[in-house]
Structure formats: C-alpha cells, structure tokens
Chains A and B, each alone.
Chain A
Amino acid sequence: MSMSSGPTPAPSTAGDPPPLLSLRNIDKSFGAVHVLRSVDLDVYAGQVTALVGDNGAGKSTLIKGVAGIYSFDSGDYLFEGQPVVVHDPKAANALGIEVVYQDLALCDNLDVVHNMFLGREEKRGITLDEDDMESRARKTLDGLSVRTLKSVRQKVSSLSGGQRQTVAIARAVLWNSKLVILDEPTAALGVAQTEQVLNLVRRLADNGLGVILISHNMNDVMQVADNIAALYLGQMAAQVKAKDVSHGQIVELITSGRSGDLGLHPQQTGASA
C-alpha cells in the first residue's frame, strides 16, 4: 500500500504552537487486515481534538497504539516534538499519556480516593498515606471545578454514571498528565450528565492539557472540540478546525471520506472500498 506519495491531508493549523502529539504515516495491520494506512494526527496542548469515524474506521486501534497497547508497524510517533517509542502502557504513562476507557475500570467496592490512586498508592512507611491521598484527590477535583461529588469517601457503587466518568477522568488527570484520551465518555449518560462531562472535558483543555475525545455524538463534538480528525476506513480523511466546518461536512467526512474539497481524493476512497 503505497499511500505516502498521495496528498496527505494537511491539518489546517497554521499559526498554532507545535503539537503535543504528532503522528505521521502511521501504518498498522492485523494479519492481512490493513487497519491504519498512513495516518497523520496532531494533538495540541490546551485543545480538544475530537477523533471521529464510523465503526471499524480504526479509531480504537489508533488510540491503543498511542496508549502503548499495540505498537504501530511503521510511522513516526512524536511527543512534545521528540520521537518516542511506546511499546507498553507504562511507557505511555511515563510520558504523561492517560486513557479513560469506556468501561472506566473503576472498583465499585472502593471509594473515590482509593480508585483515583489504585495501583499507585501513596505510602508512608508500609502504611497507606490516606490523608495525603485524600487531599490530593480533593485538590485535583477542585482544580477541575467538580461540584457533583459530595464526598471523596463515597463508594463508587453509590455514584451515578456521570460521577463515575468524572472520577475516571480525574484519575487520569491526577498524574501530571499532558495528554488525556477519552473513549466515548458520554455514551451511557443522560442529557444533564452529558453536559457535566462535556464541561469537564472543556476544562481539561482550558487547564492546558491535550485532550483526544472519541465520540459518535456530533453534537458533543461540535460543542467541545477545537479540532476534528475524521477517520475513514483506516485513513485520515481530514483534520480540520471545528469552527471551519459544519455538522453536515463532518458527517460526510465520516460516511464517505470526503466533503467538497475536504478529505480524501475519490481514487483514495474508491481504492479502499
């Protein structure tokens, strides 16, 4: 698959500071299935980059590659301008990349503080430093202006879906992370709770973090995203600024890989059909 000679969809981000995360010509296959072809992606600190695409477009594979769960077959992975090698999740964490998966991976029987520090507990001697953990958890939640949690000593089993999502996001932020990847954070939520979580996503970016938001919900995307990257059958159809495109254009990019002069050339979309 020699796609590298084809016109790369250049992100229309001139004038911005250098990206926090930069992927170039990423390829990934599982056996005979070519899942990602020459994908480029730029994520900027302080911005929400929405990653959209239909089922099977390669969103999850791309994210898992960034998070170190898979490694890419070829292509450049630049973090803060430096080429890095991320072969396992620990390496991604060390760089400051945290992923909030759709299932949240919370322990219902533990409270909010315990969950936020799970596997990375603060210790004093051999005992857990509960006081320090609680005040750090509190500080992180305050920093995100989270008002919905009554007590950080509540068990997660007593929290609503939106509160759980909040805890999972706060956990990702706790570790001085620079890039937070959110996988469908609003998929299971009602209207009010979706609103809360989207506000939180916006605040993450306003606090200077880079955010990748995977979502199927175009309203969510248009509401919070600064940047929209649309994947179409394993190729990056376009990465555009949210204010430059309409709802309809995004849907076209997702469903056919092109919209007007945006997106892939007809032969590219045709070739992969």
Chain B
Amino acid sequence: MSTTTTDAPDRVQPEDEGLAQAFRDYVQRLRGGQLGSLPAALGLIVLVLFFTALQGSTFFSAFNLANLLSQGAMIIVLAMGLVFVLLLGEIDLSAGYAAGTCAAVLGVGLTQKGWSLPLSLAACIVTGVVIGVVIGLLVARLGAPSFVVTLSMFLALQGLMLLIIGSGGTIPIDDTTILAIQNNNLSPLGGWILFVIVIVGYALVTGLRMQRRRAGGLTAEAPSVWLFKVVSIGVLYGLATFFLNQERSRNPELTSIKGVPYIVPIILVLLVVLSFILGRTAFGRHVYAVGGNAEAARRAGISVRGVKIACFIACSTMAAVAGILFASRDNSISPSTGGSTTLLYAVAAAVIGGTSLFGGVGKVSDAVIGGLVVAVIANGLPLITQEAGIQFIVTGGVLLVAATVDALSRKRAVAS
C-alpha cells in the first residue's frame, strides 16, 4: 500500500496478456468465489461421460441427444425467465403453473374458441404478462415476500388452469405450426448455415469489440483468448451439429429424421436477446444493481419497484413461451402441464448454472448450461434405474450440491 503522490499513476496497461494471463486471472476469480458456470460445465462433462460409460449405446445416440434437447427446452426457457427474478434475490414459485395456464389459454383459443394461431399465441403471451404484472405489483408495491406471493399464485394458477381447461381434462393440440416447434428439424444444410451464422456472428461481435477497446486503450481480451473461445465454441457446436445431422430414425426407409431441431435456433435467439437486455442495456445493469444492493440502487436514482415489476413480467412471459413448448412437445395440454417437478427443475437449472439464490449474480447462459445438466440427469437416470425414488433423490442431491456451492462461494467472496 504505497502512499507516494506522484502525478502519473502506473496503471496496468492493457498489453498483450495472452492465454496464460487470462488463465491466471480466471483462477484468481475462482479463488475469490466467482465460480460462474464452471461447476455446471464440469458437471455436464462428468455426467455425459458417466452415462455414456454405463449406457453408451442408448444414451449417447443422435436420437437421444435430440430427445434430450427437446426435453430440456422447457426447463431452459423457464430458467431463463427465472434468472431475472433470482438476480433480484427473489423467487417465482408459480412459473411452472404460469406456463401451464398460458398453454391452456393457447389450447382453448386454438380448439374451443377457434381463434387463429397468431391470436392464440398473442393471448398466451399476454396471459404471461398479466400474471407477471400481478405478481410484480404485489411484491414491489405491497412489499409482500415473493416466496409467499408466488406460493399462493402457484395454487391459484393451478385452479385457474383447471377452470380454463374445463371438464374435458385434456386439450389436444393439432396445429401443425405449434407441433413443428418441438418435433421438426432444420435440414442438414440449414443446420450448417445456422452454425456458420452463429460462429461468424459470435467471432465478429466479440472480435470487433476487442479491436475497438484496444484502439481506445481500454482493457480488452488478448487476441489469443478470443481465438481460443471462438475455436472451442466452434468445435463443440460443430460436433453437435454434425451429430444431429446423422440419421436418427429407427426406421429410415419409412421416415427420415435428421437435422438440428428447431428448438435450437429458438433457444439461441432467446439467449442472445435476453443476454443483450441484461448485459448491454441500462435496464439490465439496474437489475444487477437492485440485486446487489437495493438501497444503493435507490440512492442512485434507480426505480427499484419498476425494476422488480419488470423482472417478474419477464419471468412470467418466458413461462408463457415455455407453455408453448409444452403444448408442442406433449401434443396436448392437461391439468398437469407445467406441474410436478417442472418449476423445481427450472430453479435447479438456473442455480446449477451459476445464478445465485442470494441475488446479484447470474447470466441467462447459466439457464442453458444448468438446463442441460438437469436434462441429462432426467434423461440418463431412467436408462440406469427404473426406480423413480432414486431418480428424485439424485436430482435433489444435485440441486443441493449446487445450492451449497452457491452459498460457499458467496461466503468466500464476502471473506476475501
């Protein structure tokens, strides 16, 4: 701690620091308790290796990989919405049934009311927005704890859903567009075009930013780090695309199933849009500020209530999107849509991905990585044991580990 008062401060120049320095910085951050998505990414690799070793032929097949993506999609989308709420240090227990209720509105609109598809989709999304507004107002205006508010919404939405679905019990969905979302694939060529767009887009956006910041003399990634990221993402995504483009039909003469499922570009678009909102806009910055220190945010002139309401709306709106995915995957809507373990899996996905339950820390991409972990467990365990009890215990255990890692890394961050 030097206290000399020379005029020219010797700050660290953003020179070429290279991979080694980036690695050291990363280790430094890990030691400081900023774990990010690392545990989830490691967990994902371990789980994939584990299930492949035990049930390789069944688990690590193109058919199952595509199936896993479509199973995980709802969890991932719900978790993306929950990230907004968790960032504030709040919780939304009603998101699962919000998805179910919105799906029910969609189903009733399409079948009983005979609405057009766009109208039904709009009604579905608007339902999500309204649910978010109600929860947001109750939490932000009245100051009721979100746990209690959303717990009561959990029950109330379950009832609302039963009323909307009516006595029939199940609404079949036969709209081809809706069904296509979770059941159809891009052509193999389309998959590779998407691959090129994503990788070139990613390389350009991050590369140009790096160039601009270096030109301005600001802290920037080293080119080697940038190249490493682009290449590793490219290799992983390229492998997945190649794998998904294999024929995975059980009976190729009858029907051919191959290509990247539609759900992949849908999730990518949601990931980019929501990451942009959280990472690059003033609103996103305010979400982190409110989650980190609400009093400081208030004194800085940020509307804490407004931010809270907006986050609950974001969460319920994403739940509505998840509802559409449910309708597409299940071909129907029943009173159990969005129920059972849905919400818990989504919360688990966000937390496993690295979003803190204490607020202020998390990213939308956490939802994707954590959602994949949850999906791999949910998909792989039944291949090993048919015992539902064991499956629940293992999933619970994984969530417990994630929450413990979260709590411990927070302790570490406070202590350092």
Contact = CB atoms under 8 A, between A and B. Distances in A.
Q: Is the pairing of A and B real?
A: yes
Given A109-B361, A123-B282, A192 B3 contact: yes
A142 B295 contact: no
B3 A105 contact: no
B280 interface: yes
A110 B416 contact: no
B252 interface: no
Contact of A106 (B286, B293, B361): B293
Interface string B1-42: 111111101111000000000000000000010100000000
Contact of B292 (A90, A108, A126, A141): A108
A105 B360 contact: no
A147 interface: yes
Contacts of A162: 1
A126 B360 contact: no
B9 A142 contact: yes
A157 interface: yes
A105 B295 CA distance: 7
B2 A147 contact: yes
Contact of B296 (A118, A138, A148, A151): A118
A192 B296 CA distance: 27
Contacts of B292: 107-110
B32 A158 contact: yes
B288 A128 contact: no
Nearest to A89: B299
Given A123-B282, A151-B12, A107 B216 contact: no
Interface size class of B (residues with CB under 8 A): 35 or more
Given A131-B216, A135-B218, A192-B3, A157 B302 contact: no
Contact of A128 (B9, B213, B218, B280): B280
A153 interface: yes
A120 B301 contact: yes
A135 B393 CA distance: 51
Interface string B271-305: 00000000011100110110111011101111000
Interface string B187-231: 000000000000000000000000011001111000000000000
Contacts of A108: 292-293, 360, 413
Given A90-B301, A158-B32, A110 B289 contact: yes
B361 A147 contact: no
A193 interface: yes
Contacts of B282: 121, 123, 128
A199 B293 CA distance: 28
B414 interface: yes
B299 A105 contact: yes
A155 interface: yes
Interface in A202-220: 203
A203 B219 CA distance: 26
Interface in A124-164: 126-128, 131, 134-135, 138, 141-142, 145-153, 155, 157-158, 162
A196 B281 CA distance: 35
B76 to A, nearest CB: 24
Contacts of B217: 135
Interface string B23-64: 000000000101000000000000000000000000000000
Interface string B372-411: 0000000000000000000000000000000000000000
A126 B281 contact: yes
B213 A131 contact: yes
B300 A199 contact: no
Contact of B9 (A89, A90, A147, A157): A147
B300 A120 contact: yes
Contact of A127 (B10, B213, B280): B280
A135 B14 CA distance: 13
A158 B7 CA distance: 26
Contacts of A145: 5-7, 9
Contact of A131 (B218, B295, B413): B218
Nearest to A146: B9
B3 A109 contact: no
B216 A135 contact: yes
A118 B212 contact: no
Contacts of A118: 285, 289, 296-297, 300, 302
A114 interface: yes
A17 interface: no
A144 B300 CA distance: 22
Interface in A162-207: 162, 192-193, 195-196, 199, 203
A254 B62 CA distance: 80
A151 B218 CA distance: 10
A119 interface: yes
B281 A127 contact: yes
Contacts of A90: 301
Contacts of B34: 155
A119 B6 contact: no
Given A107-B360, A109-B288, A119 B218 contact: no
Nearest to B416: A158
Nearest to B302: A119
Contacts of A135: 216-218
26 contacts: A89-B299, A107-B289, A108-B413, A119-B297, A119-B301, A121-B285, A123-B282, A126-B281, A128-B280, A128-B282, A128-B285, A131-B216, A135-B216, A135-B217, A142-B9, A147-B9, A148-B1, A150-B11, A152-B219, A157-B413, A157-B414, A158-B32, A158-B416, A192-B1, A192-B3, A196-B3
Given A114-B288, A150-B12, 17 more contacts: A90-B301, A101-B299, A107-B288, A107-B297, A118-B302, A119-B297, A119-B302, A123-B282, A128-B280, A128-B285, A131-B216, A134-B218, A138-B11, A142-B9, A142-B11, A149-B11, A151-B219
Closest 4 A/B residue pairs (Cβ): A119-B300, A107-B292, A109-B360, A109-B292
